[in-house]
Amino acid sequence: MMRLLILILLALALLTPPAIGKIVSVCNDGCDYARMRDAIGASEEGDIVAAEGEFRESLHIAKPITIEGNATIYHGMGPAIEISADGVVVRGLTFAGGYAGIVVRDARGVRIEGCRFLYQFRGIEASWGSDVHIEGNEFESIADTAIWLKHVASVEIEQNSFMNATTGLYLGRSSGNNVRGNSFYGYFHGVILEFANANLLEGNEFTRPYHEEVPAAPVAIRLQESSENIVRRNRVEGGNSFWLERSYGNEILMANASISEAGTMDSEGNDFVFTHVNLTGKNILISIGNPALPEGYVGLSEAVKITVVPDLLTGEGYFSMETSLDEMEMQGAGKELEWSSIAFYRRDGAMTRVSKEIDANGRAAFATSESGIYILAGTKKSGMPFELRWVLSVGAMAVLMILAFLVSRRVRGTSAR
């Protein structure tokens, strides 16, 4: 009987919704507390600290609470808020001046949403944590790095705005993180991955590099000793797009991404994906152009300018390209172009073929160490265009069907007489 009662109580406990925390208000005058430190100290797990006004404090949060409101925290050498508990939420606050707005230490499930970080050395710093969500924040005039993350995993960094930060995002020794839909305006480095593997960078925008007068070129995305990352559908205006150093096995989508330049140093096995073409190599510079092709030629990929920069010690430097046409794309190309002409060409005044024609599986490839502009292309079929041939064939078929109908009517009429 006692066992049954215990089971019933356990079931009721599971079905009972969690208690909603109380709201603890803090403002400069007329609230529960006048100092944020006191409001946090008085709060309990699940409570909401509703803040309004201006504060000059450095805070430590060691319990799962929410701090939100229209409040600005000014602070000095240390962080404005240090978080060491799981499940903390910081929403809508403004942090101005000092070392950092928020520092997260070995915590999970932390959410930082809709905050502003102004005139700081770093905006957010997090280490040894996971499942952190950083969304919809604004970073402006950050001297070092807006978001600095190390030894973290499963972090979502989405829809944040970075303006005039020397480095927008640093990911060090971190894996399985998603960086999506962020905008970077004014930067020397937009995103740096260092010893960081299996991360996703997707749909971010990078405009007007920072420190344009500095001789060293700014870089939107830099990978250093990082592998198996996926970089796709990012938009870059001005400055170098990508730079890879001692990095392997990364996939960078170049097609339809408004990306102009990339480079690798002592890196190989990285896959640069263009329209119908994959490129890999070592010690190369890559840019996308749009040169005019000789009459009769049709491009099937972007024209890719590749400059081989051999290693000074080993002399290594090379690249290879191969096609990636599916069955429908092959059929489309075959209708317009002479099949035997579809291959890779180097555009060096003339069109110099550098590969065999594509095979029955739509595959062609080549490898070289010679710099130049390369494109997958073919020549138009001679004679009547396919569309006109199709119209005429359909018309001829229709005429034959009409003639057959008229003949059959005449035969039936003759038989009836």
Q: Cα separation of 143 and 133, whole Å?
A: 23
**What pLDDT is attached to residue 7?**
44
Structure tokens at 76: 């000095």
Amino acid at 109: G
For 328-340, what is each residue's pLDDT tens digit? 888 888 889 999 9
Is residue 347 situated within a structural domain? yes
**pLDDT-based confidence at residue 129 (cuts at 50, 70, 90):** very high
Residue 164 has pLDDT above 50, yes or no: yes
Is residue 239 situated within a structural domain? no
What mean pLDDT is predicted for residues 343-364?
A: 94
Q: How many domains does the chain have?
A: 1
**pLDDT-based confidence at residue 17 (cuts at 50, 70, 90):** very low
Nearest residue to 334 via CA among 379, 275, 303: 379
Q: Tell me if residue 312 falls in helix, strand or coil.
A: coil
Is residue 262 situated within a structural domain? no
What mean pLDDT is predicted for residues 390-409?
A: 68
**What pLDDT is attached to residue 349?**
85
Q: Tell me if residue 78 falls in helix, strand or coil.
A: coil
**pLDDT-based confidence at residue 8 (cuts at 50, 70, 90):** very low
Is residue 17 situated within a structural domain? no
Is residue 167 situated within a structural domain? no
Evaluate whether 354 touches 366 at the Cβ level (below 8 Å).
Answer: yes
**Residues near 156 by Cβ (< 8 Å), separated by ≥ 6?**
132, 133, 134, 135, 177, 178, 180
Of 141-150, 168-177, 210-219, 290-299, the least confident: 210-219
Q: Cα separation of 274 and 65, whole Å?
A: 47
Is residue 102 situated within a structural domain? no
Q: What angle do CA 367, 369, 375 make, to 5 degrees?
A: 60
| pTM, entire model | 0.84
Is residue 305 situated within a structural domain? yes
Buried b (16+ CB within 10 A) or exposed e, 18-33: eeebeebebbeeeebb
What is the greatest pairwise CA distance in the chain?
A: 112
Residue 19 has pLDDT above 80, yes or no: no
Is residue 282 situated within a structural domain? no
Q: What is the residue range of 298's domain?
A: 287-392
**pLDDT-based confidence at residue 203 (cuts at 50, 70, 90):** very high
Nearest residue to 275 via CA among 251, 253, 258: 253
Evaluate whether 21 touches 27 at the Cβ level (below 8 Å).
Answer: no
What mean pLDDT is predicted for residues 175-181?
A: 98
